[in-house]
A and B are shown apart, each in its own frame.
Chain A
Amino acid sequence: MKSAMKRFLRRGIVIPVVLLVIIILLLKFTYDAVDDVETFYALTGWLLEATLQSATPLILAALGGMFSEKSGVVNIGLEGMMLIGAFAAVAATYFFYDPWIGLLAAVLAGGILAVVHAIICVKMKGNHIVSGTGIILFAAGFTTLMLEVIWNRKGISEQVTALPNVNMPFLQDIPIIGVAFDNLSPIVYFAFVLVIVSWYVMYRTPFGLRLRAAGEDPSTLDAAGVSVEKYRFIGVVISGLLAGLGGAYLSLGRGLPAFGKQMTAGRGFIALAALIFGNWTPFGVLAAGLFFGFLDTLQHFVGFVPAWQWIQGYSQFLQMIPFVLVVLALAGIRKSVPPKAIAVPYEKEVKA
């Protein structure tokens, strides 16, 4: 436990420190710009809340991607799994008038798509990237098609019941925190819990050890008498479940509780970026997801401060940062340690 803590501190210290410095600077500049304590509290509270909200789907999907990639299967289909999750959540809620059933349906829908990916990549030894592309195309087409079949509409579905938000009355009097943590979707808290659970499962259980072994050194795992295929299959399916949950958050957790055409808008890819930037670890994913969510929020945030509104003309550059950072990270600014046997189909040696 102690060594793990140390390792975490040593490896994961860079991103939090950078984040902290940026946030402190930003807070200072904001305070200088608005020059009013009440407005400052409201603004920063909003910033924190919106960051949590933008980060949640990224964290969930990236966590899913982690399970898949740690087991050795690339999953660029996260985008498609999120999309079908978002759709299934709204469709099931629309038919059964209960958002919790919608949540369940979203998780299952993502899982079913992941089963397809797993069958192709693990059982049939197909190309992971091609299969992921197929998943994305299928999900994009299927959800838009069903949008028209069910609601007979083109752009956006009918509104359904949203998930009830969690209220935290005891926090309301605290400045900033009160605004930020009150009235959030339960999925946000759930995402944080899942990060810890994932860490525990990944690094403290035999299951996690085997899952990681399937991605790092499958032949050794096989020699130990454990089925590589089984663990890879499970890893991919978990990724689908989590991505589906992330999609459900997009449609039911925040904003208008409805499904919009292509509503993930590339978040699956940003989640992949968060996964890589977070170095394929749960807490790395959490930090990267929060950071990318923060960047996503920042472009709206600058609109609230009159002195900064000119930045909105350059919001595309803010949106670019996650992608550029990942390219830089991979180009060797920071050490990236992907699983060794990633994207390599495991072929059992044939008996003579």
Chain B
Amino acid sequence: MIEDNLQDNRDQSDGGQTGLRANVERIRLNLVERAEEWPGPIKSIVLAFTKLLTWAFWKPLIWALFSVVLAAIISAIIMEISGYNSLEAFSALIFGALTRFDRVLFESTPLIFAGLSVAFVFKAGLFNIGAEGQLYMGSMAAAILGYIIPLPYGIHPLVCLATGALAGALWGFLPGLLKAYRGAHEVVTTMMLSYTAILFTQWLAAGPLKEPGEFQWNAQTTLILETAQLPILWGYYLHAGFLLAIVCVIGVAFVLNRTVLGFEMRAVGFNEAAAETAGIDSKKNVALALGIGGGLAGLAGASEILGTHHRFYNSWSPGLGFEGITVAVLGNNNPFGCLLAAIFFGFLKAGGNAMHQQAHVPIEMVGVMQGLVVLFVAAPRFIQWIADQSLDYGKWFSVDKIRPISFALNMIIALYGTYFSFILLGETQLGLMFIGISAAVSILSIAAFFMIFARNSRGFIVSLIASMCWFTLAAVGMGAGVDVSFMILVGLVQAVLSVLALLLVKGAGKSKGDGA
């Protein structure tokens, strides 16, 4: 009964426009209608502005924000369990990044290029996970031209950048051709060619292009000439590559949305067969998309070498090409989204240093956060599901009081049990038995939480088993001579709550024929 009601409500909210969204949509349509009468430039600006009012614009943004928040929560839990103060860490991260914003932009520069590379290729329906190799090729080409030929100021960096882009583009074009004409899956070929490129540049830096010198053991090329260096814009780090990145963002957005090439690429990405039927040469577009993506990745490498490192050395890139995937994913494969996402990740990286210095949390925490963000963004339905379930709970609460409350209490205790058992996992001196049971409790509790959240009444049985585990844990702990009263308390509360909830659900099943 309740389920049916809720289903109806949900259908209504999905089908018809609810309050705020409907109003915004009305305003937008009104604006679009009026703009038709206005002169050209104003009309296009207004029309561009109206796009900001659509749900299609806000949805990915809100989704991304949601995943960032969820990732932050889990990171905080990991920090707490590892014995760091998560609040202090986050505040250090945020203030550290805000006070050194030049550093943020500096860290985000290569990420913008790499993210654009992945996003551009994705628009053509392909996945470029080999941006790392293209980036290495680009950086190597730029580094070689940087020290081999003398050129005047101003022209030299441009030549180096162009060569870097070209090298990257060639390295991206190769899998593009293989995909277009031999059907080789680009995910695998770009990945494999990426490693090939890394090894090849490694050989170049260690062998024929190694910096001469008797005591030179490092595998690195000669420093580039001063004429080839990109000027510093702001602070110690931020170089002119950032401006180029911004230009690239605008350029990619323009190419994708305002040119025939971009239209064809998107058509191929949307439906290759349909594009072929419409007379678009999908092979050409596939190869070209990967080529241009490779060029963008090559620019990332070239600008890093010319702006920061000033020479090529082995494994200089901390997985920038790989992080490009995360940027593109968080930016919803939109050029401007990529810009925002890259600045966000640059923010994390720059803040990570401050976090390390002030809260003593290792910088690797940033990598953990990055991975978590990507995992959450990868599953949009997860966030959708959480939002739907939460809405349902709200509506359920308005028709029924006792059962939602018992569900909520059970969820809280399950979540607390998870947290508590995670902390107990650190008490390794208590022996294998103890740790094994705590691990079991934590897994059971988290499973119970999600099952109850999904309104699966079997979750209460899992919760009950978890509470039994708490008692066992207490018994084991008593043998080891630790204070176990808190574990017994948690177990007792969990047992009572789950039994009560089970009774309530069973009662509902009898009277209404449908358990929550």
Binary A-proximity of B127-169 (CB < 8 A = 1, otherwise 0): 1010000000000000000000000000000000000000000
Closest to B432 in A: A96
Interface centre among B127, B365, B367, B379 (most CB of A within 10 A): B379
CB atoms of A326 and B192 under 8 A apart = yes
* Of A18-26, A177-185, A314-322, the one with at least 4 CB within 8 A of chain B: A314-322
Kindly supply a per-residue 1/0 record for chain B positions 202-222, scoring 1 wherever the CB is within 8 Å of any chain A CB and 0 otherwise: 110011000000000000000
> Interface stretch among A1-9, A41-49, A144-152, A206-214?
A144-152
Is the pair B82, A330 in contact by a Cβ cutoff of 8 Å? Answer: no
Number of interface residues of B (CB under 8 A): 54
From 183 to 242 in chain B, residues with beta carbon under 8 angstroms from any chain A beta carbon are: 183-185, 187-189, 191-193, 195-196, 199-200, 202-203, 206-207
**Partner among B189, B195, B377 whose Cβ is within 8 Å of the Cβ of A266:** B195
Q: Give the contacting residue for A130; candidates B83, B362, B378; CB below 8 A.
A: B378
Given A137-B370, A141-B364, A324-B192, A130 contacting B377 (CB threshold 8 A)? yes
Q: Would A133 and B129 be within 8 Å (CB), given that A149-B82, A316-B200 are in contact?
A: yes
Check if A263 is an interface residue, CB within 8 A of chain B. no
Closest to A101 in B: B432
Please name all residues of chain A whose beta carbon is closer than 8 Å to the beta carbon of B184 when the two chains form the complex: 327, 330-332
Do A320 and B381 contact each other (CB < 8 Å), given the known contacts A137-B370, A138-B372, A142-B368? no
Is A76 interfacial (CB 8 A cutoff)? yes
- Give Cα distance in the complex from A259 to B188, angstroms: 28
Q: Which residue of A lies closest to B185 (CB)?
A: A330
A136 touches B371 (CB 8 A): yes
In the complex, A95→B428 CA distance in Å?
Answer: 6
- Interface: A116 (CB within 8 A): yes
How near does chain A come to B263, taking the closest CB pair, in angstroms?
A: 24
A124 at the B interface (CB under 8 A): yes
Q: Does A330 lie within 8 Å of B189, measured CB to CB?
A: yes
- A225 at the binding interface (Cβ < 8 Å): no
Q: Which of B286-294, B321-329, B478-486, B491-499 contacts A (4 or more CB under 8 A)?
A: B321-329
Complex alpha-carbon distance, A74 and B188, angstroms: 11
Q: Does B178 belong to the interface (CB within 8 Å)?
A: yes
Q: Taking A133-B129, A313-B207, A320-B200 as contacts, is the C-beta distance between A120 and B375 under 8 angstroms? A: yes
- Asked whether any CB of chain B lies closer than 8 Å to the CB of A125, the reply is yes
**Which of A125, A140, A273 has the most C-beta atoms of chain B within 10 angstroms of its own C-beta?**
A140
Whole-angstrom distance between the Cβ of B201 and the nearest chain A Cβ = 9
Q: How far is the CA of A124 from the CA of B385 in the complex (A)?
A: 9
Known: A273-B192, A316-B199. A141 touches B368 (CB 8 A): yes
Chain B residues near A332 (CB, 8 Å)? Answer: 182-184
Q: Per a CB cutoff under 8 Å, which of A96, A101, A134, A331 touches B182?
A: A331
Q: Is B374's beta carbon under 8 Å from chain A?
A: yes
> Do B325 and A327 touch across chains, with their CB atoms under 8 A apart?
no
- Shortest CB–CB separation between residue B391 and chain A, in angstroms? 18
B428 contacts across to A, CB distance below 8 A: 95-96
- Closest chain-B Cβ to A232's Cβ sits at a distance in Å of 15
Is A269 interfacial (CB-CB < 8 Å)?
yes
Residues of A within 8 A of B193 (CB): 323, 327
* Shortest distance between the CB of B134 and any CB in chain A (Å): 14
Contacts A95-B428, A324-B192, A327-B184; is A135 near B364 (CB within 8 Å)?
Answer: no
Report whether B322 and A136 are in contact in the complex, using a CB–CB cutoff of 8 Å: yes
Q: In the complex, what distance in Å separates the CA atom of A195 from the CA atom of B445?
A: 35
Contact with B along A217-242 (1 / 0, CB 8 A): 00000000000000000000000000
Say yes or no: is B382 at the interface (Cβ < 8 Å to chain A). yes
Assess whether A127 is in contact with B364, with CB atoms less than 8 Å apart.
Answer: no
Q: Does A276 contact B (CB under 8 A)?
A: yes
Q: Smallest Cβ distance from B111 to chain A, in angstroms?
A: 13
Number of residues on chain A facing chain B (CB within 8 A): 50
By a CB distance below 8 angstroms, the chain A residues around B183 are 332
Which one of A74, A146, A324, A331 contacts B196 once the chains associate, using CB atoms below 8 Å?
A324
* Pair A316/B189 contact, Cβ less than 8 Å: no
Question: How many Å lie between the Cα of A273 and that of B185 in the bound state?
Answer: 13
User: A137 touching B182 by the CB < 8 A rule?
Assistant: no
User: Quick check: A317 and B378 within 8 Å, CB to CB?
Assistant: no
- Which residue on A lies nearest to B431, using beta carbons? A96
Interface residues of B in 57-109 (CB under 8 A from A): 78, 82-83
Q: With A323-B195, A332-B184 known to touch, is A135 a contact of B202 (CB < 8 Å)?
A: no
**Known A-B contacts A76-B191, A129-B127, A316-B202; A134 and B366 likewise in contact (beta carbons under 8 Å):** no
Q: Cβ of B326: which chain A residues have Cβ within 8 Å of it? A: 133-134, 137
Q: Does chain B have a CB within 8 A of A139?
A: yes
Listed residue (B196, B200, B381, B382) with the most chain A CB atoms within 10 angstroms of its CB: B196
Which chain B residues border A96 with CB–CB below 8 Å?
428, 432, 435
Q: Is A156 an interface residue (CB 8 A)?
A: no
Task: Kindly state the separation between the CA atoms of A283 and B325 in the bound complex, as whole angstroms.
Answer: 33
CA distance A134 to B382 in the complex (A): 15
Given A96-B428, A101-B432, A327-B184, the answer on whether A134 and B371 have CB atoms closer than 8 Å is yes
Enumerate chain A residues within 8 angstroms of B362, measured Cβ to Cβ. 144-145, 148-149
CA distance A141 to B382 in the complex (A): 23
Q: Report whether A276 and B188 are in contact in the complex, using a CB–CB cutoff of 8 Å.
A: yes
Q: Tell yes or no: A338 within 8 A of B by CB.
A: yes
Task: Report chain B residues within 8 Å CB of A320.
Answer: 195-196, 199-200
Please report the C-alpha to C-alpha distance between residue A273 and residue B192 in the assembled complex, in whole angstroms: 8
How far is it, in angstroms, between the C-alpha of A100 and the C-alpha of B374 when the chains are bound?
A: 33
B367–A125 contact, CB under 8 A? no
Check A126/B380 contact, CB under 8 A, given A266-B195, A320-B196, A327-B193.
yes
Map CB proximity to A onto B300-337 as digits: 1 under 8 Å, 0 otherwise: 00000000000000000001001101100100000000
Known contacts A96-B428, A139-B371, A149-B82, A126 near B379 by CB under 8 Å: yes
CB proximity of B388 to chain A, nearest CB, Å: 13
CA distance A276 to B191 in the complex (A): 13
Residues A149 and B83 in contact, CB atoms below 8 Å apart: yes
B325→A130 contact, CB < 8 A: yes
Question: How distant is B320 from chain A, measured CB to nearest CB, in Å?
Answer: 12
Check A119 for interface membership: any CB of B closer than 8 A: yes
Please indicate the chain A residues that have their CB under 8 angstroms from the CB of B322 in the complex. Answer: 133, 136-137
Docked pose: A330 CA to B476 CA in angstroms:
56
Best-buried of B191, B203, B374, B375 by chain A (most CB within 10 Å): B375
Shortest 4 CB-CB contacts between residues of A and residues of B:
A141-B367, A138-B371, A137-B371, A134-B374
- What are 26 inter-chain pairs, A to B, with CB distance below 8 A? A96-B435, A98-B432, A101-B432, A127-B329, A129-B129, A130-B378, A131-B374, A133-B322, A133-B326, A133-B374, A135-B371, A137-B371, A138-B371, A138-B374, A139-B371, A144-B367, A145-B368, A146-B82, A272-B188, A273-B192, A317-B203, A320-B199, A326-B188, A327-B192, A330-B184, A331-B184
Q: A119-B379, A129-B127 are known contacts; what are 7 more A-B pairs with Cβ within 8 Å? A: A130-B325, A131-B375, A135-B375, A142-B368, A144-B367, A327-B196, A330-B188
